[in-house]
Structure 1
């Protein structure tokens, strides 16, 4: 067989195999060749460059996004979760929650204490957990939720206890208001022994899990939707340039949180503690959270980020957008 004949036959075999989807046996029968001959011709087609095989890895783009974001925020480990192209934003959070649940399984060890900041995202993670028994795990609520709406819905307590049940651990709730009316009331409450026990657990937490809250998310963060903030509070936040919160403690677009009056009334931990924590995991999904996420990254308010692909791309565009 001449080289030209072999090339023409290899092209014919490749078309039948790759374009028409025939098996090597079907090609052999159609062309009057043996199956080993067909296999050799297919190998020749690949080796000689007649056929090029390209693998489009759906995870490659997220990995590239993660690397670019880590270049901008080198102190943060970024994990970008792929989502189906063209999928609705409501479909992204379950993917991110599953990725977070898998990460927790690799991080959690018996005897650890985990601080949980309640909200829609952490609640979604609680539903994605795979049951696993670990000895001596403590899950402590990081910010208060004692209001009429929470007493009726049980949203926060269900989230924290779901984590505890999943791992066979203990749930430590924080039965204080989300926001106090007077910062002096908070100061007095913080002296109570039962409250101090929870605060001490928070301070000793080995891992923190939370999201960023945003008033402009497609699905409003629970703190904004559950009536914890009245109109005057929200107007003050807007006037002061607040773009988001972590554990109901607010921060500005530059990532700063100091001297915001409402934070003196908030039940969540000082964000300086979160910024300094060595094992802080922030979970984010949704384009409306991009400004808050960008600000939190600027403020150094996480060590690890898990985010869906479209939100990561929007964040990268905001980070790289030229300043006017």
Structure 2
């Protein structure tokens, strides 16, 4: 065994001054095999510490930028530049499904908001060995033209089967006609039971709905809103919804009247959940993504690389043309 001072001298010559083992051995009058053993000994004693830095890929830079700008952890799904909206949705959904398999543990309470994206995530889930898991529906789905069962039931059932979970559906309207009706229903014991489970959720998964673009949120395709109502949302600068609660690009939502009739949790309610996964893709959702991030509703953002770039392009539009 060699003393620390000697080990340090040998390690410095080899690692810092880039001398060969033969040169170090000649310097101290020892064999190359002794130098090799001393370097190993220096590592085991903590005199030498080796660190590795992974390559700085574009998704890594985007992830850091999301964290620095919004304080969220961004999980970037790689896609081809030519990918269309459906392929981008598939990419983020597969990524999110893999994360859920890792994150859902025995005893987890998983809150799920129904929608196009979460339904696609569910389709990518396979059986797991999780035990004592609970899946609860975060927002109602019934509307003027449908019970909502065809939208929410397959999604929730698939999630529950994947995690061997007890399922708590939430059979209420997505939006109530009257705020008073919602308040009264919230007092019913059967509804309070589901709300209690919803308040205990430790992992939530949801997306950002959009009423414009190639892949519309089911909120806007299931007959919940008339054209006049959609125009009113535009006039209120609404850019999308999370869990059927409408948001503006700046993250505000509290003064939007229809939100008092919504069945889903507000961004403030979501913020009480330890982990909140927002899964989203598509240029048409960029402003909604910014609203969701600024509302404080998101801890983990699953997004494709093209949409991620478009978010920051929107934040930093190109300057005026030099030909003006």
TM-score by length of 2: 0.78
Equivalent in the alignment of 1:125: 121
Partner of residue 99 from structure 1, selected from 85, 95, 103:
95
Q: Which residue of 2 aligns with 1:174?
A: 170
Q: For residues 51-200 of structure 1, what are the structure 2 equivalents within 5 Å? A: 60-73=57-70, 75-147=71-143, 149-151=145-147, 154-200=150-196
Contact 1:286 1:311 in 2 (8 A): yes
DSSP 3-state at the match of 1:177: coil
Q: 1:257 maps to which residue?
A: 253
Is the CA contact (8 Å cut-off) linking 1:69 and 1:316 kept in structure 2?
Answer: no
SS, match of residue 234 in structure 2: helix
**CA apart distance, 1:276:** 3.5
Question: In the aligned structure 1, how far is the partner of 2:77 from the partner of 2:89?
Answer: 10
**Offset of residue 155 of structure 1:** 1.9
Alignment of 1:309 onto 2:305 = yes
SS at match of 2:241: strand
- Please list the CA deviations of residues 169-228 of structure 1 after superposition, one character each: whole Å capped at 9, or x if unmatched: 121111111111100010111111111111111100011100011111311110011111
Which whole-Å deviations, capped at 9, do the CAs of 1:7-35 have from their partners, x for residues lacking one? Answer: xxxxxxxxxxxxxxxxxxxxxxxxxxxxx
What is the alpha-carbon distance in structure 1 between the residues aligned to residue 82 and residue 61 of structure 2? 19
Is 1:275 matched up with 2:260? no
TM score, norm. by length of structure 1: 0.78
Q: For residues 170 and 77 of structure 2, what CA distance do their matches in structure 1 show?
A: 32
Q: Residues 125 and 162 of structure 2 are in contact (CA less than 8 Å); yes or no, is this contact kept in structure 1?
A: yes
Q: Which residue of 1 aligns with 2:262?
A: 266
Q: For 1:134 and 1:197, how far apart are their aligned partners in 2?
A: 24
Q: Classify 1:165/1:241 alpha carbon distance in 2 versus 1 (closer, same or farther; 3 Å).
A: same
| SS of equivalent to 2:271 | helix
Distance 2:303 2:178 in 1: 36
CA–CA distance in structure 2, aligned partners of residues 150 and 59 of structure 1: 49
Q: Separation in 2 of the partners of 1:108 and 1:133?
A: 10
Runs of 5+ unmatched residues, structure 1: 1-56
Q: Which residue of 2 aligns with 1:222?
A: 218
* Contact 1:58/1:82, CA 8 A, preserved across alignment: no
Residue by residue over 1:252-297, the C-alpha shift from the partner in whole angstroms, topping out at 9 and shown as x without a partner, is 1210111211011111112211134321110001111101001111
Aligned residues of 1:164 and 1:171 also touching (Cα < 8 A): yes
Runs of 5+ unmatched residues, structure 2: 1-53
Distance 2:106 2:213 in 1: 36
Does residue 231 of the first structure (1) align with residue 227 of the second (2)?
A: yes
Give the paired residue count. 267
SS for the counterpart of 1:281 is strand
Please tell me whether the aligned partners of residues 201 and 273 of structure 2 are also in contact (alpha carbons under 8 angstroms): no
Post-superposition CA distance 1:133-183 (Å, at most 9, x none): 311111100110123654476121110111001111121111111111100
CA distance in 2, matches of 1:309, 1:170: 35
RMSD: 2.0
Contact residue 212 and residue 244 of structure 1 kept, 8 A: yes
Q: Partners of 1:243 and 1:100 in 2: how far apart?
A: 23
